[in-house]
Structure 1
Amino acid sequence: MPYDPSDARSALPTATATRQPDGIYSPASHVKFYELPAVTTDGDTRTWYGRSQHLVIGYTDLVTPTGFTVPETSDECAVLMPEATTSATVTIDGKTTTVAGQTLTFIPPDAADVRLEGSGRVITIFTARSGAAPGEAANAAAYDEPHPGVAPLISWPDPVGGFQLRTYDLDVPGLTEPAFRIFRCSSFMVNVTHPRNGPRDTTRMSPHSHDDFEQCSLVIDGAFTHHLRWPWTTDLSQWREDEHEHCDSPSLTIIPPPAVHTSQATDAGVNHLIDIFSPPRTDFSLMDGWVLNAADYPMPEAAS
């Protein structure tokens, strides 16, 4: 499953890896928020949630001010505001910090009050084990039983200087090809790709697979077709049909291991997809300069 030579991912040590797993393949989960009623409403503001095995991801269409409370937990959570027209105030231990839009903020595992203002999209990220998400995921039933192919979530080392509110500006170049902006905390990784105009060049797709972690692909603009193919094993009953699932925005697709997958932007206008992984990806983290806040969050000693 090679990448195009111009794609920086072609240098990953797993770029051509293959795997024949044991057990039953888990299905993909396509959570099309635009087809579902909001989980919570506050005035004209609406919020939906979807989940993977380790994460609960919220998508908020912010119109009128709203907020939520985070209990003291074992894990950080995050507020991603891709647009400058939104803002957040975060209060922890009586100290209030105002966070501008077009940022990604990691909130420490302390009790916190978060207030959102402005208009635009806000994405919230919680670990499922923390129980901190303010609403239930639309696809919660898909995880009534753990998916056998997904490795357990083992947190990476604490950040340098200890847990604290950390905000990162999204107005940074990141990588060129692919257009990645990657950040991580101790329990998950967020790849805020740069939005692109027009459909994807179909001669430069990037089919690949992951051995033991899910990929959470959140579409916030435009439309994508998620192409998935499961490897064949000796047990015919475990084979799954290929998928070519069209997803408009907003939507969240959970891609399970070890499905071969690639996502194709299809809209004539702006297409924007954000990928989220838990735990943080070791292969991305080993690439020099890929993770933009690597100095704040060390890798496990064994991985580095």
Structure 2
Amino acid sequence: MTTQGPRSATYAAHYDTPPQQETAGARTWLTRGANFVVSVSQVEAGAVLARENNPDEYFVFIPAGGARIQAGGESVDAGAETVTIVPPGASRIEATAAGTVVRVFSKLAADLVAASVNNAVYADGAPEVAPLVPWPDPPAGFKLRHYVLADYVRADSNMRIFRSTNLMINPLAKRVVPRDVHKLSPHTHADFEQASLAVQGTYVHHLRWPWTPDMDMWKEDEHVEVGSPSVTVIPAKVLHTSRNVSEGDCWLIDIFSPPRMDFSSKPGMVSNEDEYPLPPAAA
């Protein structure tokens, strides 16, 4: 019987690899996890990114540039450094300026899952990851929800966390000097993955896989330097921490699916917690 080895991390360096999709005015890189897909598009003004009938909500994050987002009979003009939650169904994003449009989907966006650069990594279905079970619908209904990140700066934290029924993103505060190597934060996640999207600066991701009784299954530690834009997917149970190593603005966005209960159970930690109820067992 073949023993399944530990899952590898994904280091998708968009600046050094061809895109998975090219349309008029847009080049798009796709990277998946067990429960999510991260889509990063470099766009020219006028480029359109559309979904005909997306099955569930997705996030739009614009680190630079701007776009008009339309869905459910509504529209919002999203500037740089904003986050928007898009409802299920048809949607259209038109770039109003050259820049970057990041979309984060759940694994229900099957066409994007299949097109992801690392789709083969998940051929076994990722049994170590908890399944995606949607959280309760928002009481005010599904609609465009728009957030300007500058409105959610916290004096006591570098986190700005937002959740939907199926996803959670955390656009961390920018770092302007290299991270202090004496103040890192190594940690693990028992049954979910983390995607770390670098949109500015250079980072080193430090990963350590747990030992198992079978020494043949052990993996060497990894210390991988990546630039921007890039997506790193960190497997469940892997000890990890990240540090920016370049001067100037460095910006990392962490992505999870489903939403994290540990963050969501702390009052005030999730910026839009009033819009999305907790699952009944946790409420």
TM-score higher than 0.5: yes
Q: Contact 1:175/1:290 (CA < 8 Å) preserved in 2?
A: no
- 1:136 maps to 2:136: no
Amino acid at match of 2:109: S
Instruction: List runs of 5+ in structure 2 lacking aligned partners.
Output: none
Instruction: Give 1:87 deviation, angstroms.
Output: 1.9
Counterpart position of 2:75: 97
Q: Contact 1:79/1:124 (CA < 8 Å) preserved in 2?
A: yes
* Structure 1 residues 134 and 27, CA gap change in structure 2 (3 angstroms): closer
Percent identity for Structure 1 against Structure 2: 38
- 1:47 maps to 2:28: yes
Q: Find the partner of 2:149 among 151, 170, 174.
A: 170
Amino acid at match of 2:8: P
Q: Find the partner of 1:203 among 161, 182, 191.
A: 182
- 1:238 maps to 2:217: yes
Counterpart position of 2:18: 37
Runs (4 or more) in structure 1 with deviation over 4 Å come to: none
Counterpart position of 1:220: 199
Instruction: Give 1:263 deviation, angstroms.
Output: 0.3
Q: Contact 1:153/1:278 (CA < 8 Å) preserved in 2?
A: yes
Alignment of 1:1-16 (within 5 A): none
Structure 2 SS opposite 1:164: coil
Counterpart position of 1:64: 45
CA-to-aligned-CA distance 1:112-137 (integer Å, 9 cap, x gap): 22222212221011112232649821
Structure 1 SS opposite 2:262: helix
**1: CA distance between counterparts of 2:10 and 2:215?**
22
Instruction: Give 1:201 deviation, angstroms.
Output: 0.5
Counterpart position of 2:104: 125
CA-to-aligned-CA distance 1:21-64 (integer Å, 9 cap, x gap): x9742111111111111223345532211111111111112223
Q: Contact 1:221/1:249 (CA < 8 Å) preserved in 2?
A: yes
**1: CA distance between counterparts of 2:170 and 2:118?**
22
**1: CA distance between counterparts of 2:269 and 2:71?**
31
Q: Contact 2:74/2:144 (CA < 8 Å) preserved in 1?
A: no
CA-to-aligned-CA distance 1:233-279 (integer Å, 9 cap, x gap): 22212211100011111110000010000001111121110000000
Q: Contact 2:84/2:144 (CA < 8 Å) preserved in 1?
A: yes
- 1:266 maps to 2:245: yes
Q: Find the partner of 1:87 among 67, 74, 84.
A: 67
Q: Contact 1:208/1:261 (CA < 8 Å) preserved in 2?
A: yes
CA-to-aligned-CA distance 1:84-121 (integer Å, 9 cap, x gap): x31223143xx351322132111111122222221222
Structure 2 SS opposite 1:56: strand
Moved more, 151-160 or 23-32: 23-32
**1: CA distance between counterparts of 2:74 and 2:139?**
22
Paired residues, what number?
280
**1: CA distance between counterparts of 2:47 and 2:21?**
10
Structure 2 SS opposite 1:81: strand
**1: CA distance between counterparts of 2:268 and 2:125?**
34
* Structure 1 residues 220 and 292, CA gap change in structure 2 (3 angstroms): same
* Structure 1 residues 293 and 152, CA gap change in structure 2 (3 angstroms): same
